[in-house]
Amino acid sequence: MRQGKNKNKIYSRFDIGRVPVTSVDVAKPETAQQFRERLAKEEEARINAPIKAAEQQLAATLRQMTEELAQTWRLPLDKLQRFDRNYADALHVELSLPKENQDANPEALMQSVKAEFKTFVDNLPSKGYVFNNSVRFQSFIQTQIVFGGVKIDQSSLATMFAWLVNHECFSESELRYVPELVPPTEAEPEPEVQPLTLSEALMVAEGDRDKLLRDAVEFDWLNAHRSMIEVWTASLARDWNIYPSPADWKFLFDKHTGYFVQRNLQFTPANLDKARVMMSRTRRWLQAETAQEVYDRLLVAGTVSYANYVGRFNQLGTKWTRPCRESGISAYAND
């Protein structure tokens, strides 16, 4: 048999099987549904682009303002105290703190402020902090009272102190941190034993079977909605900068005394939103309401007219269903 120089040369149609074939990936055509979804996403991105740009600009402006305020509060005390009282509102930092009752007796209010301040400073060593000079802190508190109408208690003082510390406003000669003063951390308690699931409790032959069944039913009820609660807590962190404490969880979800159990509420998005608004109205979480939720309440209470309600809706636009602080509204303005 004659050997060709090119083994892959085609002499007839029967030689095609010897030709090497390279596979080529061909993109699948876009379906009509995918096409519509892509167009919808592109349109949504186009519409939201100016809003996102404005939000980013606002965030950048707020960061710059905060840094400028921090630089002012870092000034040496002698320069800080030279500020004319008539222009000292430039030193005020908005911390969204609860407001004091404007009808409160001034003398009683002054005594309360002094007592709260002394208690707070006396407790600082347990956290490792020691004041050598508290004038800067007192000046900061004064601006919050005069220009913010802030209610002075242990919580608001902690927020003010944390702001000054986090922005490194105290000099070493004013405030010292002595870690040796912090009491040793107590051993963590043993983790709470979770109740049996319903299927496990049904297999129990001895003991308080009724109690086991009650606990198991409640545990299964909460656990069945865990994914919804996780989505809700993610929303609290993302949109409201709220991170519930263990006390908050107990208040809301305790299987015997919690908000949901006491009111026999089902785990639904609407009821979780109701819980958020309740936590805001009781000031466990500050400003945790949308502009719409604030104005719905004011409309029902008769504080605003329907025309005012509609006008505010038209004015706020997309911010109507966003946290009220984003539009400069206070959830407690009319309390």
Q: Per mean pLDDT, which of 47-56, 59-68, 284-293 is the most reliable?
A: 284-293
Section 187-197 average pLDDT = 57
Instruction: Evaluate whether 98 touches 286 at the Cβ level (below 8 Å).
Output: yes
Q: What is the count of structural domains for the chain?
A: 2
List CB contacts of 157: < 8 A, sequence separation 6 or more.
Answer: 116, 117, 120, 141
d(CA 264, CA 255): 11
Cβ-count burial 270-305 (b if 16+ within 10 Å, e if not):
eebebbbbbbbbeebbbbbbbbbbbbebbbeeeebe
Looking at the domain assignment, is residue 169 inside a domain? yes
pLDDT of residue 22: 59
Instruction: Evaluate whether 150 touches 156 at the Cβ level (below 8 Å).
Output: yes
> pLDDT tier at 116 (50, 70, 90 boundaries)?
very high
- What is the per-residue pLDDT across 17-58, written as a single tens digit (0 to 9) for each? 555 555 556 667 778 788 788 888 888 888 888 887 877 777
Q: Residue 209 sits in which domain range?
A: 198-327
CA 152, chain centre distance (Å): 23
Shared domain for 207 and 168, answered yes or no, is: no
In this structure, is the dihedral angle defined by the CA atoms of residues 34, 38, 43 and 45, taken in order, positive or negative?
positive
Please count the helices (runs of H) and the strands (runs of E) in the chain.
13, 2
Q: Which letter does DSSP use for residue 132 in this model?
A: S
> pLDDT tier at 153 (50, 70, 90 boundaries)?
very high
Section 203-228 average pLDDT = 59
For 138, the token pair is 């007192």
The helix (run of H) or strand (run of E) holding residue 175 is strand 175-177
Higher pLDDT, 319 or 21: 319
Percent of the chain with pLDDT over 90: 3
Higher pLDDT, 127 or 187: 127
Shared domain for 149 and 226, answered yes or no, is: no
Looking at the domain assignment, is residue 29 inside a domain? no
> pLDDT tier at 193 (50, 70, 90 boundaries)?
low
CA 281, chain centre distance (Å): 16
Shared domain for 234 and 319, answered yes or no, is: yes
pLDDT of residue 120: 92
Please identify, among 181, 216, 240, the residue that sits at the C-terminal boundary of a domain: 181
Shared domain for 202 and 320, answered yes or no, is: yes
Shared domain for 175 and 111, answered yes or no, is: yes
Shared domain for 174 and 291, answered yes or no, is: no
pLDDT of residue 7: 54
Shared domain for 213 and 176, answered yes or no, is: no
Looking at the domain assignment, is residue 53 inside a domain? no
Higher pLDDT, 47 or 4: 47
What CA–CA distances, in Å, run from 69 to 2, 88, 237, 276? 93, 12, 26, 31
Q: Per mean pLDDT, which of 48-57, 181-190, 192-201 is the most reliable?
A: 48-57
DSSP codes, 64-109:
HHHHHHHHHHTS-HHHHTTS-GGGGGGG-----PPBPPTTS-HHHH
Looking at the domain assignment, is residue 312 inside a domain? yes
pLDDT of residue 220: 60
pLDDT for residue 124 is more than 70:
yes
Burial of 101 (0-12, 13-18, 19+ CB in 10 A): exposed
Looking at the domain assignment, is residue 222 inside a domain? yes
Looking at the domain assignment, is residue 64 inside a domain? no
Q: What is the pTM of this model?
A: 0.44
Section 252-268 average pLDDT = 81
d(CA 294, CA 82): 41
Shared domain for 159 and 264, answered yes or no, is: no
Please identify, among 123, 149, 181, the residue that sits at the C-terminal boundary of a domain: 181
Please identify, among 181, 208, 229, the residue that sits at the C-terminal boundary of a domain: 181
Instruction: Evaluate whether 49 touches 104 at the Cβ level (below 8 Å).
Output: no
pLDDT for residue 158 is more than 60:
yes
Shared domain for 150 and 221, answered yes or no, is: no
Shared domain for 292 and 208, answered yes or no, is: yes
**How do beta strands 129-131 and 175-177 pair?**
antiparallel
> pLDDT tier at 9 (50, 70, 90 boundaries)?
low
Looking at the domain assignment, is residue 152 inside a domain? yes
> pLDDT tier at 1 (50, 70, 90 boundaries)?
very low
pLDDT of residue 230: 80
